[in-house]
Amino acid sequence: MHLAVVTETYPPEINGVAHTMRHLVEGLAARGHRVRLVRPRQRGERAARDQTAPTLVPGLPIPGYHGLRFGLPVYWRLRRQWRHERPDLVYIATQGPLGHAALAAARDLGVAVVTGFHTQFHQYSRHYGLGLLTGPIVAALRRFHNRSQATLVPTATLCERLGAAGFDNVAIFGRGVDIERFSPRWRDPELRRAWGCAADDLAVLYVGRIAAEKNLALACAAFEAIRTERPGARFVLVGDGPELARLRRTAPDYVCTGAKTGQALSAHYASGDLFLFPSETETFGNVVTEAMASGLPVIAYDDAAAHTHIDPWRNGVTVPLGERDDYLRAAREAARDHARLRRMGEAARHDAEGMSWERVLEGLEEQLREVIHRQCRSGGLSCRCGYNT
C-alpha cells in the first residue's frame, strides 16, 4: 500500500500520540508498505529533499504545551502532492488545522481516509475551566471523524462510547508495547539510591505529562496515603508540563526528574516498585503497558488500557472510574504487602509479553486494506491494495 500519515506530533516530541505514530509509521514501512509522513517542522529542523523523507509543513506553538506545535492548514500543498503522487489511503491522527486540511484534500481527490481518535480533547476542557465547551467540542469531533471512511480507537470501551455518541464506522486499532525497551532487566540500584531509596524502601512511580488533565492531585494524595503505611516510600515523577514548577515548589521531597527518553526512561520504569496512574481522560494510556512490561503493578481507574489489560489484584489494581476514595484505599492496601506487589509485578510482565506491536500492526494493515477496497469499489477504480473479498 501507498499510505500518507498526517500527524501534528511525532518523536522526538514526548507524548502518547507521537509514540503510537512512530510505531505505526516504522512498523508499516518495515512490513513493505510505502509510508509518507506529513507533520509540522520541529524546532531547528530543515526539510530534506529525499522522496522518502517526511513532508514538513509550517507550524506554530501550542499554548500551554511546551515543545509541541500545530500544523498550518496547507490544503493546496497537500492536494498538489497527492494529485502528483496519489496515496491509496490517508491516515489522519490529529484534529488540528493540518488534520482538517488533509481531510479536505483527500476527500476532494477521492482518496480513502481513516482518522485516529487519539486524544479526548472534550474531557480536557473541564480541567482548564472550559467545561461549558464539552458539548460543542464533541460535536466538532463527530463532524470531523464522520467525514472519514473509518475512525480507529484503541479500546472496545471507547469504540462503544463513540458509537453511542453518534460517531460512525468506529473500529479498534489496539496498542502494543516494546518488551525489550521496557523490561525489569533495566532495574538500576544506583538510580534507586539517587532517589533516596534503600533496598527495601518502596519507590512509587508516575510517568507522564505533569498537567492538570492527568489528575496529579489524586496521585499526590495516593502517595501520601501510601506513606502512612510505608514511611520510607519515595515518590518519583518522570515528565514535563505546566504543573512541574508548582509541584517542585509545593512538594520539595518528591523526586521530579523532568522528561526522560531512551535507556534512561527504561531504567526509571524498571527501578520503581508501584505505578500510580490516576488519569480520567485517556484514550489508552501507553504508560500503563510500559509499566507492566517493566514489571510494575499499576493502580488505575477501570478505563482505557487499564480496563483492557489489568486483572485486579493479580497483575495490578483497578477501581471504578471517578471513585477517588476507592483509589486512595487501593493505594494504601497495595503498599502494605511488598511481597504481593512483587507477585503482581511479575504477572504484569508476563502478560505484557503477549502485547506484540507486530500483531497489532497486522490487524491494522487488514483494516486499511479493507477501507481502500471499499473506496475503490465506490469510485469504480481498480484496486491495487491486494485486499481480497
State pLDDT tens for residues 162-178: 999 999 999 999 999 99
387 has a pLDDT exceeding 80: no
Please return the burial class of 67, using the count of CB atoms within 10 Å of its CB with bins 0-12, 13-18 and 19+. middle
CA–CA distance, 150 with 235 (Å, rounded to integer): 41
Within 8 A by CB and 6+ apart from 9, the residues are 15, 17, 18, 21, 39, 68, 93, 94
pLDDT reported for residue 16: 85
pLDDT reported for residue 135: 63
CA–CA distance, 369 with 386 (Å, rounded to integer): 7
What confidence tier does 65 reach under pLDDT thresholds 50, 70, 90? Answer: low
C-alpha cell at 286: 501507553
CA–CA distance, 273 with 291 (Å, rounded to integer): 10
What confidence tier does 66 reach under pLDDT thresholds 50, 70, 90? Answer: low
pLDDT reported for residue 220: 97
- Report, as an integer, the average pLDDT of 13-36: 94
pTM of the predicted model, to two decimals?
A: 0.88
In one letter, which amino acid is 359? R
pLDDT reported for residue 283: 84
C-alpha cell at 346: 511479575
Can you name the residues that pair with 35 across neighbouring β-strands?
A: 3
327 has a pLDDT exceeding 70: yes
pLDDT reported for residue 132: 46
pLDDT reported for residue 98: 96
Domains in the chain: ranges and CATH: 2-176+356-379 (3.40.50.2000), 184-352 (3.40.50.2000)
232 has a pLDDT exceeding 60: yes
- Give percent of the chain with pLDDT exceeding 70: 90
Measured CA angle at 211 (ends 351, 309), to 5 deg: 15
- Report, as an integer, the average pLDDT of 330-349: 97
In one letter, which amino acid is 340? R
C-alpha cell at 284: 489508552
CA–CA distance, 259 with 61 (Å, rounded to integer): 19
pLDDT reported for residue 388: 46
CA–CA distance, 86 with 291 (Å, rounded to integer): 40
- Write the DSSP assignment of 206-243 as a string of letters: EES--SGGGTHHHHHHHHHHHHHH-TT-EEEEE--STT
69 has a pLDDT exceeding 60: yes
What's the maximum distance between 2 C-alpha atoms anywhere in the chain?
69
C-alpha cell at 14: 514526548
pLDDT reported for residue 67: 63
Q: Where are the beta strands (DSSP E) in 270-350?
A: 274-277, 298-301, 316-319
In one letter, which amino acid is 101? A
- Give percent of the chain with pLDDT exceeding 90: 75
Q: Which of residues 47 and 62 earns the better pLDDT score? A: 62
309 has a pLDDT exceeding 90: yes
Q: What is the mean pLDDT of the chain?
A: 90
Q: Which of 30-34, 137-141, 357-361 has the lowest mean pLDDT?
A: 137-141
CA–CA distance, 30 with 361 (Å, rounded to integer): 10
113-148 pLDDT, tens per residue? 999 997 654 444 444 444 445 667 888 899 999 999
Within 8 A by CB and 6+ apart from 252, the residues are none
What confidence tier does 47 reach under pLDDT thresholds 50, 70, 90? Answer: low
Phi, psi angles (nearest 5°) of residue 31: -85, 10
249-259 pLDDT, tens per residue? 999 999 999 99
pLDDT reported for residue 379: 67
- Residues 179 and 159: beta-carbon distance below 8 Å: no
